[in-house]
Amino acid sequence: MRKLTYAQAINEALTQAMELDDKVVVAGQLVDYKSGIFGTTTGLAERYGTQRVEDYPVAESLMTSAAIGQAVAGLRPVLVHQRLDFMFYSLDAIANWMSLWRFKSQGQSSLPVTIRVIVGKGWGQGAQHSKSIHAWFAHLPGLRVAVPATAYDCKGLILESIFGQDPTVIIEHRSLFSMSDEVPEMAYRVRFGQGVVRRPGQDITFAALGFMVPLALRAAGKLAQEGIDMEVIDLRTAYPLDQRLLLRSVNKTKRLVAGDYGWHTAGMAAEIMALVSENMGRKLLADPVRMTLPDSHTPMSAVLEEQYYPNEEDICKAVRRVMG
């Protein structure tokens, strides 16, 4: 079966969406240039023209309000932010309008807007080019939030988002872009709220989102050599969150590490832990552990980045702690 990189899978999702429905339009700074946002939009402008594939003024707020208007009028816009950090200017449009549009129109009007945001990491991106706030989006009602870890999921979730009815944020971690896995050629869907077991195991559940998934899988390999059989589940979407899968897995292993590549306090790892706690906390054989970024902004220096971002070894340590 054919393998694609994460970036190629995104490109294929967008190409297929634009081909399937001419209501699909793509907007973002530089989306119509050859390099195409790390390859994810390359070729679209040549194929579908610069009206449907629109280089935008550096005006993220307008770009987002305008997407609301476009969606109201029947289009299915896809917005692209080269860094998540650039979208903060658009949070009024998202929180005060987009997220509550369906609600306050009593379902008479809904907004199929897909917002692709790339989370920077490494090479000194620093505090203004590396934030991820998927937990904010999960907290805000009215948005769906995908945090795909594989090329397969990313393609399917983008298509599902574009052809769904509700506004959706797709969190794409930059470190995943050159990783590749099997991706079917057809236009397929991956549903929101459906996680997947990436590696079955008996001893402990590692519940992960996004870039934490490949790290956890590598850690699982190491831990297996120590005789720890770790189950890695990929929740895929932060909202809705696949509670059933989570609880089923923890019900089996009775141990939990909640892993998220986001800040610690009030983040997705806290949500995962709260779900387990309120549903089956007393069945756990050990107190669970969170594996997250510290409550800190991102340092630039490579040696501090090392320290800041959790890696395989950090995961192994956390797991060993829970295994006791």
Ligand X SMILES: Cc1ncc(C[n+]2csc(CCOP(=O)(O)OP(=O)(O)O)c2C)c(N)n1
The residues in 21-40 that bind ligand X, with binding defined as CB under 6 A, are 29
- Active-site positions read 60, 129
**Which does residue 72 bind out of a copy of itself, other proteins, ligand X, none, counting CB within 5 to 8 angstroms by kind?**
other proteins
For 45-73, b where at least 16 C-beta lie within 10 A, e where not — what string?
beebeeebbbebeeebeebbbbbbebbee
Collapsed DSSP state (helix, strand, coil) of residue 32: coil
**Is the backbone peptide bond immediately before 148 cis, with ω within 30 degrees of 0?**
no
- Report the candidate in 272, 287, 270, 274 with the shortest Cα–Cα distance to residue 322: 287
Residue with nearest beta carbon to ligand X: 86
Q: Binding to a copy of itself by residue 228, rule CB under 8 A?
A: no
Rounded Cα distance, 281 and 60, in Å: 43
Q: What residue type is 212 in one-letter code?
A: M
**Which does residue 196 bind out of other proteins, a copy of itself, ligand X, none, counting CB within 5 to 8 angstroms by kind?**
other proteins
> Out of 56, 89, 97, 163, which residue is the one contacting ligand X (CB under 6 A)?
89
Nearer to other proteins, 94 or 276 (CB): 94
Q: Binding to other proteins by residue 86, rule CB under 8 A?
A: yes
- Report the candidate in 130, 147, 153 with the shortest Cα–Cα distance to residue 211: 147
The kind and range of the H/E element at 77 are: strand 76-81
Q: Write down the residue that tokens 């490494």 correspond to.
A: 122
> Out of 8, 42, 70, 99, which residue is the one contacting a copy of itself (CB under 8 A)?
99
> Out of 15, 128, 243, 277, which residue is the one contacting other proteins (CB under 8 A)?
128
- Report the candidate in 129, 197, 116 with the shortest Cα–Cα distance to residue 157: 116
Considering the complex, what minimum distance in angstroms separates the CB of residue 75 from other proteins?
5
Show the binding pattern over residues 139-178: x = contacts other proteins (CB under 8 A), - = does not.
--xx-x-----xxx---x--xx--xxxx-------xx-xx
Q: Where are the alpha helices (DSSP H) in 265-324?
A: 268-280, 302-308, 312-323
Q: Binding to other proteins by residue 3, rule CB under 8 A?
A: yes
How many residues touch ligand X (CB under 6 A)? 5
Q: Binding to ligand X by residue 86, rule CB under 6 A?
A: yes
> Out of 286, 302, 311, 317, which residue is the one contacting a copy of itself (CB under 8 A)?
286
Rounded Cα distance, 233 and 218, in Å: 13
Show the binding pattern over residues 42-61: x = contacts ligand X (CB under 6 A), - = does not.
----------------x-x-
Q: Binding to other proteins by residue 46, rule CB under 8 A?
A: no
> Out of 12, 271, 309, 316, which residue is the one contacting a copy of itself (CB under 8 A)?
271
Strand partners, 117: 81, 171
Q: Binding to other proteins by residue 85, rule CB under 8 A?
A: yes
User: Dihedral angle at the C-alpha atoms of 92, 95, 99, 105, nearest 10 degrees?
Assistant: -70
Footprint of a copy of itself (CB under 8 A)? 61, 85, 88-89, 91-92, 95-96, 99-100, 103-104, 126-128, 131, 133, 135-136, 138-142, 238-239, 241, 262-263, 265-271, 273-274, 276-282, 284, 286-290, 294-297
